[in-house]
Amino acid sequence: MTTPVTRLKPRPQPVCLARATGDPASPRSAAAARGLAGAARLSQSARAPAPAPPPRPGGALNRDRLCGSGPLLRGLAGWKRAAVASGWRRPGRGTGTRGVERRRARPRGRKAKEIINTARENLAKMIGGQPQDVIFTSGGTESNNLVIQSVVKHFHKVHATNGDTGGHPSPVDGALPHIITCTVEHDSIRLPLEHLREERVAEVTFVPVSKVNGQVEAEDILAAVRPATCLVTIMLANNETGVIMPVPEISRRVRALNQQRAAGGLPGVLVHTDAAQALGKRRVDVRDLGVDFLTIVGHKFYGPRIGALYVRGLGEHTPLYPMLFGGGQERNFRPGTENTPMIAGLGKAAELVAENGEAYEAHMRGVRDYLEERLAAEFGERIHLNSQFPGAERLPNTCNFSIRGPQLQGREVLAQCRTLLASVGAACHSDLGDRPSPVLLSCGVPVDVARNAIRLSVGRSSTRAEVDLVVQDLKQAVARLEGQA
């Protein structure tokens, strides 16, 4: 007797709209192919990349392209790599004798160094800086901490004894270094500063953002400056609202203030911006920003999950001290064996942004605007766009919104969605539960509205057809929650 075989129907593929987007044309797009080619040049014996897997059954949607490479709206947390550094054969590794491998290792080592230098040049080109001012790190958290620790250490070194005034006491002798930031910064800025304040190593001022435009005002930053102020750190774009901060104006006014401070023997104030969210979505140029430090995060612009730090006039104009001690890599500023394949991928991702940034921005803005039009058409006055502020520029891919209703908390709505994969806010605040986002509350969004927030971010390959699918999914989810379906 033959046992019948039960065949399960394939589940529909989800559409991920909330924190990342997909690669430009396909799961193995031309951009990805270029990235792989760049990494493969590390070694003549590099393996060819594996062929793309066949499409999964049961879904017309391209899940790779939608979901982060994710489906449509996950672009702020990270993207699937468009510049994958894989298929790389480690220098000196092979089947020959040890002597042969040693001879091979030397040219391969030089080739690896060339790849690192090329990646450094591509990053510098992307941000309008100089290659010698770029240091590779493990990611944005390390870069941000490196800036904070370096500035605090430099302040203590210069002003702990007799200052820098030729043996005469400094006007800030005995004072703790003072750092200014704002209330909507990423945790990798906020938490280190809170720790330094708790340990009484530094004093910190958190300047609130405007409830009118969601920005920190340059005037408020300048008003917070003290004699012992040594650093202003303000993100370039907020990771929940997408609002662009007035970093160029802040830098310009700080430079003017530094001229006055120098005459009185006060320390100069350095300016840092965490550009993680802005890179790959809008033009970023350190010459226009006027900053001393800029944080780079690879997975925010389709690169691998490593990062870099730009330091203007590294070691000459702007101080930087290592947090780690070991080998002499990265000119001793960041010792440790380089992750060459990941650096290669980061460099390729930066190259793509430098070449195609304007096209990426225009495409994302068009799809995002269409998304907001469709939300307004379906939900009418029930929609509150949390990321739209009068007079404030925002990222081209970000849409943070709430659907008004007592049962429509963001998490509940997303739990009812059948195809949409999204988030209610920043990945680093995923432990908030049902509590509303502190960032939205700081920006003046009412508590009941902030509790219903959903953050969607489109990407390079997001389409209007995907937007239509997502909006329909949201409409049905709301109907189920309200007992209409």
User: What residues act catalytically?
Assistant: 428
Q: Which two tokens stand for residue 6?
A: 């039960």
Residue 441: count other Cβ atoms within 10 Å of its Cβ.
Answer: 18
Q: How many angstroms separate the Cα of 282 from the Cα of each of 204, 370, 395?
A: 30, 19, 7
Would you state the structure tokens that stand for residue 2, as one six-digit string?
Answer: 């033959």
Name the CA radius of gyration of the chain, rounded. 25
Write the secondary structure of the chain as one string of H (helix), E (strand) and C (coil).
CCCCCCCCCCCCCCEECCEECCCCCCCCCHHHHHHHHHHHCCCCCCCCCCCCCCCCCCCCCCHHHHECCECCCECCCCCCCCCCCCCCCCCCCCCCCHHHHHHHHHHHHHHHHHHHHHHHHHHHHHHCCCHHHEEEECCHHHHHHHHHHHHHHHHHHHHCCCCCECCECCCCCCCCCEEEEECCCCHHHHHHHHHHHHCCCCEEEEECCCCCCCCCCHHHHHHCCCCCEEEEECCCECCCCCEECCHHHHHHHHHHHHHHHHHCCCCCCEEEEECCCCECCECCCHHHHCCCEEEEEHHHHCCCCCEEEEECCECCCECCCCCCCCCCHHHHCCCCCCCHHHHHHHHHHHHHHHHHHHHHHHHHHHHHHHHHHHHHHHHHHHEEECCCCCCCCECCCEEEEEECCCCCCHHHHHHHCCCEECECCCHHHHHHCCCCCHHHHHCCCCHHHHCCEEEEECCCCCCHHHHHHHHHHHHHHHHHHCCCC
Please say whether the beta carbons of 191 and 144 come within 8 A.
no
Tell me phi and psi for residue 383, to 5 degrees: -85, 130
245 contacts 282 by C-beta, under 8 angstroms: no
Residue 368 in tokens = 């995002």
| CA separation for the pair 176, 88 (Å, rounded) | 48
Q: Distance between alpha carbon 373 and the CA centroid of its chain, in Å?
A: 27
Nearest to 353 by CA among 73, 117, 122, 9: 122
